[in-house]
Chain A
Amino acid sequence: MIANGVAIDDSFAEAFPMKATRLVITAHTLTWAMNAAVSATGFATSVIACGCEAGIERELAPTDTPDGRPGVSVLIFSMSGKELAKQVERRVGQCVLTCPTTAVFAGISEGEAIALGKNLRFFGDGWQISKVIDGVRYWRVPVMDGEFVAQETTAVVKCVGGGNLLLMCTDTDAALAVAEAAVAAMKALPNVIMPFPGGVVRSGSKVGSKYATLGASTNDAFCPGLHGLAASSEITPQTRCVMEIVIDGLAEADVGAAMRAGMQAGIAIGAAGGLMRISAGNYGGKLGPFHFHLRQLLAAPATA
C-alpha cells in the first residue's frame, strides 16, 4: 500500500493491557499548573525503569475544572494497580503538593479507587481537615501559601499501552519534522499520551539480548548504522533515519485513533517531505492482546 509516496507496511502494532488514572491539577495560573504537571510526569517514559508512563493530556479552561481555576490533565499508566498507586503517591507528593498554589483532583470517577490525598494528608501533622462535599472526600492540608486541597482517591481503569508507529525517513531533518507533525496530530486527541521526550523515541527496542541479564536491547533491524552488518535489516539507502512514537491510551479505540491521526499527518508530508515508509513494532502477535493493523486503521473511517 502506497499513500502519497509513503509505503504502509502490512504490519501491526502490538499493545498490552495496563492500568491508568487521570489527574486534574489546577493552580492559580496555568503556568503553575503546568509546572506541577511537567514535574509530576517527568522521568516517566517507560515502565521498564520509570515505574510508570505519564504525560500531559491537555490544558483545561477554568470552566472545566472543579475549582474554577486553570488546570492541566495528566494521564499516568503502569503495569499494575499497585505500582500505579505507588507512583501516584510519590509523584503527587513530591511534584504537586510542593508546587505553589496547586490542587489535585481525580480525573476519572469510575473504577477501583487508589489513594490520592489519602496518605499525603499526614503532611498536615494533625492540622489537616477532611471535607466531604457532594459525597466526595477532600483533604485540606495547611502549607506555606495557604492550603493544599487534594481529593482523597482517584480511580484506576484498564487501558492499553504500547501502541506505536515506526516512521522511516530519508534523513534526520525529515525524520524529526515527520515525527513532530505526527505527535502534534496525536496530541489533539483525548485520552492518549506519548510518554517519550517530545513524544518521540529513537531507541526502539527488540525483545531479548545477547546479554542474559537484559530483557530488551536495541532494535538492530532498524538501526541505519548496522545496515549491511546485522543479519537482517529493514534499512535501505533511502531510509536512513527511523523514529518511533509510542502511544498509551485509556481504550483500544483511543490508541487506534491516535495512530491513525499520526499516520495521516505523516502521509500529508509524504515522500516529498522525506517519509518513505511507516511500520510498527510487534512481537509476532503472541505477547500483547491488542493488535493495531496499520492498513486497517487507515481504511477505517475516523470515529474520534
Chain B
Amino acid sequence: MSGFRLSLKHAPAVRVDLRGVLPAALAGWSVAQVEQLQVGHGRALVPLAEFFTVEPDGDDGMLRFVGDLSRCDRIGWQMGGGRLTVDGPAGHYTGGGMSGGALRVNGAVGLLAGCEMAGGQLTVDGDAGDFAASTLPGSMDGMRGGTLIVTGHAGQRFGDRMRRGTALVFGDAGDFLASRMVAGTIGIGGRAGAHVGYGMRRGSLVFATTAPQIAPTFVPAVADALVFWQLLARDLARHGGPFEALPSRAITRHLGDLASDGRGELILAT
C-alpha cells in the first residue's frame, strides 16, 4: 500500500479543509490522482497540488503532512484506520470524529482537537487549543471512545460533554476542565484551571501531580476504591510521563458534581 508525503508549499490565503485526505482513501492512488484531490479552500474547491507537493513515501500506507498546517483544518476528520502524521502544527478539528487508526501531530493543534472522536489514538506532541476532546456545538456527546494524548498543555473546556475513552494532558489544562462530562477518563499531569468538573455527571478525573481547586458541589469520598484505582492506574501508566508512577500512589477522591448526577470523581494522586 502506497504512502504519501504532502509538503506544504506556502501558507494558504484562507483556511483549507482537509477532510477526506485520509490514508485509507488514498490507498492505491497515484501521485497524480492525489494531486488532483479536491479540498476546500474558503468557499472554493481546489486541487491538493495547489498547496502541497505530493511525493510517494514508503509502502506502509502512511500519510505524512509536512509544514506549518495551522491554517489547515479537519486533518484526519472521521478517520477510520491507518496512520497519519503531521510534522508541524495543525489547525482546528484535528482528528475530529475519528473512529480508528493512529493520528500523530508533532506540533500544536487548534480548537476542537479530537472532538467527538470514537476510537483510535490521537497524539498531539504539543499544545491543544480550547475544546479538545469535546463536542461540536449542538451535539449531546463529546469524545466517545479512543485515546487522546496531549503532551503539552490544553486550553479551556477540555473534555466538555465527554462520554467515553481516555484523554490525557501531560501539562496544564485550562478552565472548565471536564465540564458537563458524562463519563470516561481524563488525566492531567500539571495544573488545572478554575471550575474543574463543572456539571460533570460521571467519569474520572485523575490529577497526577497537582490538586485542583475543588468546587463546593463535590464531596470528599470516605470509601476506598482500590481495585478500580489499580485497574485504571495501570492502564494510565502505560502512557508514561507524569502518569507512570500512578499505580504506586495513594489517592484521595472527591465525588460530584452534586449539581448534576454526582457520580463523577476527582482522583487526587498528588
Contact = CB atoms under 8 A, between A and B. Distances in A.
B225 A67 contact: no
A146 B223 contact: yes
A131 interface: yes
Nearest to B145: A132
B57 interface: no
Interface in A144-159: 146-147, 149
A134 B235 contact: yes
Given A131-B204, A133-B235, A146-B225, 10 more contacts: A66-B230, A66-B231, A67-B226, A68-B234, A129-B263, A131-B185, A131-B231, A132-B165, A133-B231, A149-B231
Contacts of A133: 185, 231-232, 235
Contacts of B165: 132
Interface residues on A, range: 10 to 19
Task: Report, nearest first, the 7 A-B pairs whose CB atoms are least far apart.
Answer: A67-B230, A149-B227, A103-B227, A67-B227, A134-B235, A146-B223, A133-B235
Contacts of A146: 223-226
A26 interface: yes
B231 A138 contact: yes
Contacts of B235: 133-134
Contacts of A67: 226-227, 230-231
Contact of B225 (A127, A134, A140): A140
Contact of B228 (A69, A127, A132, A138): A138
Contacts of A103: 227
Contacts of A46: none
B183 A147 contact: no
Interface in A15-45: 26
B202 interface: yes
A129 B202 contact: yes
A132 B185 CA distance: 9
Interface of A: 26, 66-69, 103, 127, 129-134, 138, 140, 142, 146-147, 149
A301 B153 CA distance: 61
Contacts, number: 46
A7 to B, nearest CB: 53
A142 B255 CA distance: 13
Contacts of B232: 131, 133
A103 to B, nearest CB: 4
What bracket does the count of chain B residues touching chain A fall in?
10 to 19
Contacts of B230: 66-69
A68 B226 CA distance: 10
Contacts of B234: 66, 68
Contacts of B223: 142, 146-147
B164 A149 contact: no
B119 to A, nearest CB: 10
Contact of B247 (A26, A68, A130): A68
Contact of A140 (B164, B185, B228): B228
B255 to A, nearest CB: 11
A150 to B, nearest CB: 10
Contacts of B231: 66-67, 131, 133, 138, 149
B209 to A, nearest CB: 21
Contacts of B225: 140, 146-147
A130 B228 CA distance: 11
Nearest to B222: A146
A147 B225 CA distance: 7
A118 B70 CA distance: 45
A127 B263 contact: yes
A69 B231 CA distance: 11
A147 B228 CA distance: 9
27 contacts: A66-B231, A66-B234, A67-B226, A67-B227, A67-B230, A67-B231, A68-B230, A68-B234, A68-B247, A69-B230, A127-B263, A129-B263, A131-B185, A131-B204, A131-B231, A132-B164, A133-B185, A133-B231, A133-B232, A133-B235, A138-B231, A140-B228, A142-B223, A146-B223, A146-B225, A146-B226, A147-B227
A140 B227 CA distance: 10
Contacts of B164: 132
A26 B183 contact: no
Nearest to B230: A67
Interface in B184-227: 185, 202, 204, 223-227
A130 B224 contact: no
Nearest to A26: B227
B239 to A, nearest CB: 11
A105 to B, nearest CB: 9
Nearest to B165: A132
A129 B228 CA distance: 11
A138 B232 CA distance: 11
Contacts of A130: 183
A146 B224 CA distance: 6
A147 B265 CA distance: 14
Interface string B229-244: 0111011000000000
Nearest to A101: B227
In this complex, the member of A66, A69, A132, A142 whose beta carbon has the largest number of chain B beta carbons within 10 angstroms is A132
B228 to A, nearest CB: 6
Contacts of B224: 146
Contacts of B247: 68
